[in-house]
Structure 1
């Protein structure tokens, strides 16, 4: 089974990159879940939490102030002005 390569990028730095089994985000069209094999997508994100589940299984919450989500060939990139990684939960 393949995984997602997820990258969170803020205006001034790369915040986190790693392999994940899924990602959940809120777009201007509603909540979306991304799994391996997802169709290519470019979407506008709203302010709030993005949940990523690394392959290690530890769910992580990332706070963003809005931004963009790109999905292509199991590569997911979240770009926002401000990105804050919360503690593992």
Structure 2
């Protein structure tokens, strides 16, 4: 099983793909998402989002706030500002 992840900025899709796990900072603390996670909505804090792609190396995206939705192994993060300098080519 895997997660279908999409990280979105106001002007573009920053990262999209299948991942084995994801972690992010919410306003209530750090959270890790694995396949089978309960549905949830969360307000994101500033910080790094770490994505472990299926069959790939960890990707890091730095965000400034936003929100995250998790439902049926689909994770969508919408961020106000995104620094994707940590993404691999």
The interval holding the TM-score normalised by the smaller chain is over 0.9
Structure 1 residue runs of 5 or longer lacking an equivalent are none
Aligned length in residues: 87
Structure 2 residue runs of 5 or longer lacking an equivalent are none
Q: Could you give the per-residue CA deviations for residues 7-58 of structure 1, whole angstroms, max 9, x where no partner exists?
A: 0000111111000000000111110000000000100000110000000230
Alignment RMSD: 0.9
Deviant stretches of 4+, over 2 Å: none
TM-score (norm 1): 0.93
TM-score (norm 2): 0.93
Contact 1:24–1:51 (CA under 8 A) maintained in structure 2: yes
